[in-house]
């Protein structure tokens, strides 16, 4: 192999290459020390002299040659390929399919809500808003779930167990940032000011639903809150996020895009397409993966073979971080830092938040059929992100039991009121069935609308009565 490699080097123009060899990073380490979360959290982590495998450089094919420090080889020679210069080696060595350690999880608070390292200070007001939003989300989920069980709405998706991901990531963003959600991030919308009434109106498909009753419950969207309407399709929003981020970059906006998805979503073609496009086009987009271990009934072990999702970032040439998804402060810090990097450095960032889907996939699912109840309960009781955050704010003397009980009672009443009000509103007019397919109604839809209206006049008793025409 050595001879072969040597002879091949003759083919390539080696002029000027030897001169750059001094810059080669020869510090390839075979054994990696385990990294502490503090190292991961430090802002210069990605730029320090950590092992090569951690260095996620900002490659661009035309710029690759400006990063000779990333080259390693046995020989002092480089081959010049279209993607940049590559060192040579006489050893036939396959890169391992995985590291011999797992990427650690960045954490700020331990299980008792005590800080274990440095983090960006969160003031009392923000902390309390985060906490009350998490509780509101939990209460809303509980009551809407019950409303579905009572047959008042057709469907619901809870975020139980992922409240910190929802609220803390939203808290770290600016209102100008654009959200391309999956369907388990209602809390992001809550943080931005979507009211309980607006949530209820969508779930009850009434005339006040912005989506005009066309989509299943929980498919929220809000133009004024920069929250792109949810679709049931998985991870299809990721490429959209990249295109939107490209637009922000072209407009030189002080804003980024964040898109959420689950671990299952990382198996889709759209995930690959989006992350690769984002890397190549250097767009300010945060890919936020909620790795909650379950895609309906499919466990993560049936989903992928890599060390979760975080390691994929490097494969696409983008920076990535793994965070504790049940630690609101860790998420707040990571998303805040990612946002800054995304905008200032015009680059995508991948965040993998490790968590657990405590609720069922949807109201159509009974997860006890495929996972032990004890496992669910352990996460619910021992790893609850809201409890952990409460410990921290109580430790700061920002919160007490009385406020807790008042918050839960008033939130419960507010949600119930919203449900009752939403139930009383009429359904959207039947005419809305035909609008918004195009900007205006084409002749075929005009014709079909006319025909339907005639049918409704002829057989009014055959159709739901609570719809105005």
Active site positions, annotated: 357, 361, 370
| Distance in Å, CB of 283 to other proteins, minimum | 9
Among 79, 137, 153, 242, which residue sits at the site for other proteins (rule: CB under 8 A)? 242
H or E element in which residue 349 lies: strand 349-354
Interface with other proteins includes 243 (CB under 8 A)? yes
| Distance in Å, CB of 183 to other proteins, minimum | 12
Give the integer Cα–Cα distance in Å for 331 and 169. Answer: 6
Among 105, 228, 331, 353, which residue sits at the site for other proteins (rule: CB under 8 A)? 228
Strand stretches in 168-256, DSSP E: 178-180
- CB nearer other proteins, residue 442 or residue 460: 442
Interface with other proteins includes 246 (CB under 8 A)? yes
Interface with other proteins includes 281 (CB under 8 A)? yes
Of 163-171, 185-193, 222-230, 459-467, the window that binds other proteins (rule: CB under 8 A) is: 222-230
| DSSP character at residue 364 | T
Beta carbons of 339 and 286 less than 8 angstroms apart: yes
| Distance in Å, CB of 114 to other proteins, minimum | 41
Among 221, 293, 336, 348, which residue sits at the site for other proteins (rule: CB under 8 A)? 221
Beta carbons of 363 and 149 less than 8 angstroms apart: yes
Among 17, 107, 192, 219, which residue sits at the site for other proteins (rule: CB under 8 A)? 219
Interface with other proteins includes 359 (CB under 8 A)? no
Count interface residues toward other proteins (CB under 8 A): 48
Of 6-14, 143-151, 239-247, 390-398, the window that binds other proteins (rule: CB under 8 A) is: 239-247
> Three-state DSSP class for 279?
helix
Give the integer Cα–Cα distance in Å for 264 and 302. Answer: 10
| Distance in Å, CB of 341 to other proteins, minimum | 20
Per CB under 8 A, contacts with other proteins among 398-457 are 435-439, 442-445
Q: Residue 332: CB partners within 8 Å, gap ≥ 6?
A: 120, 122, 130, 168, 169, 171, 172
Of 41-49, 153-161, 213-221, 352-360, the window that binds other proteins (rule: CB under 8 A) is: 213-221
Give the integer Cα–Cα distance in Å for 392 and 382. Answer: 15
* Residue in this structure with the two tokens 């996460």, named with its chain if needed: 379
- CB nearer other proteins, residue 246 or residue 392: 246
> Three-state DSSP class for 295?
strand
Distances (CA, A) of 278 to 154, 260, 318: 37, 15, 9
- CB nearer other proteins, residue 407 or residue 430: 430
- CB nearer other proteins, residue 346 or residue 394: 346
Give the integer Cα–Cα distance in Å for 366 and 82. Answer: 52
Taking residue 232's Cβ as centre, other Cβ atoms within 10 Å add up to: 13
The two tokens of residue 16 are: 């000027």
Residue 82 backbone phi and psi in degrees, to 5: -55, -30
- Give the residues lining the site for other proteins (CB under 8 A): 178, 180, 209-212, 214-215, 219, 221-223, 228-229, 231, 233, 236, 238-248, 250, 257, 269-270, 272-274, 276-277, 280-281, 435-439, 442-445
């Amino acid at each position: 192999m050595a001879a072969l490699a040597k002879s091949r080097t003759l083919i390539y123009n080696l002029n000027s290459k030897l001169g750059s060899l001094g810059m080669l990073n020869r510090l390839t380490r075979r054994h990696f020390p385990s990294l502490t979360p503090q190292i991961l959290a430090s802002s210069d982590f990605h730029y320090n002299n950590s092992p090569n495998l951690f260095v996620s450089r900002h490659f661009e094919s035309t710029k690759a040659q400006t990063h000779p420090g990333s080259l390693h080889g046995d020989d002092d020679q480089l081959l010049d390929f279209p993607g940049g210069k590559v060192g040579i080696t006489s050893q036939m060595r396959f890169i391992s399919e995985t590291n011999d350690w797992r990427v650690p999880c960045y954490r700020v608070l331990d299980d008792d809500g005590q800080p274990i390292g440095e983090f960006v200070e969160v003031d009392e007001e923000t902390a309390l808003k985060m906490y009350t939003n998490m509780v509101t989300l939990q209460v809303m989920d509980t009551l809407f779930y019950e409303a579905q069980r009572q047959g008042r709405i057709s469907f619901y998706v809870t975020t139980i167990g992922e409240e910190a991901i929802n609220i803390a990531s939203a808290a770290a963003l600016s209102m100008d940032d654009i959200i391309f959600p999956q369907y388990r991030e209602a809390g992001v919308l809550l943080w931005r000011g979507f009211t309980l009434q607006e949530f209820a109106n969508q779930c009850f498909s009434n005339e006040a639903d912005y989506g005009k009753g066309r989509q299943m419950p929980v498919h929220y969207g809000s133009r004024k809150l920069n929250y792109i309407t949810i679709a049931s399709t998985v991870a299809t929003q990721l490429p959209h996020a990249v295109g939107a981020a490209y637009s922000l970059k072209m407009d030189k906006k002080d804003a980024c895009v964040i898109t959420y998805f689950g671990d299952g979503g990382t198996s889709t073609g759209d995930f690959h397409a989006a992350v690769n496009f984002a890397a190549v086009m250097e767009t300010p987009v945060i890919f936020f993966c909620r790795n909650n271990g379950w895609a309906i009934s499919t466990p993560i072990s049936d989903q992928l073979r890599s060390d979760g999702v975080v390691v994929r970032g490097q494969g696409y040439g983008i920076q990535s971080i793994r965070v504790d998804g049940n630690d609101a402060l860790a998420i707040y810090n990571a998303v805040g830092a990612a946002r800054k990097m995304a905008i200032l450095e015009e680059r995508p960032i991948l965040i993998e938040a490790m968590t657990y889907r405590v609720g069922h996939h949807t109201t159509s699912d009974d997860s006890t059929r495929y996972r032990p109840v004890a496992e669910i309960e352990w996460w619910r009781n021992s790893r609850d992100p809201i409890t952990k955050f409460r410990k921290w704010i109580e430790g700061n003397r920002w919160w007490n039991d009385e406020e807790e009980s008042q918050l839960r009672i008033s939130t419960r009443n507010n949600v119930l009121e919203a449900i009752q009000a939403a139930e009383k509103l009429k359904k959207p007019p039947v005419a809305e069935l035909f609008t918004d397919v195009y900007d205006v109604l084409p002749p075929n839809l005009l014709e079909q609308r006319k025909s339907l209206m005639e049918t409704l006049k002829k057989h009014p008793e055959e159709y739901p009565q609570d719809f105005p025409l």
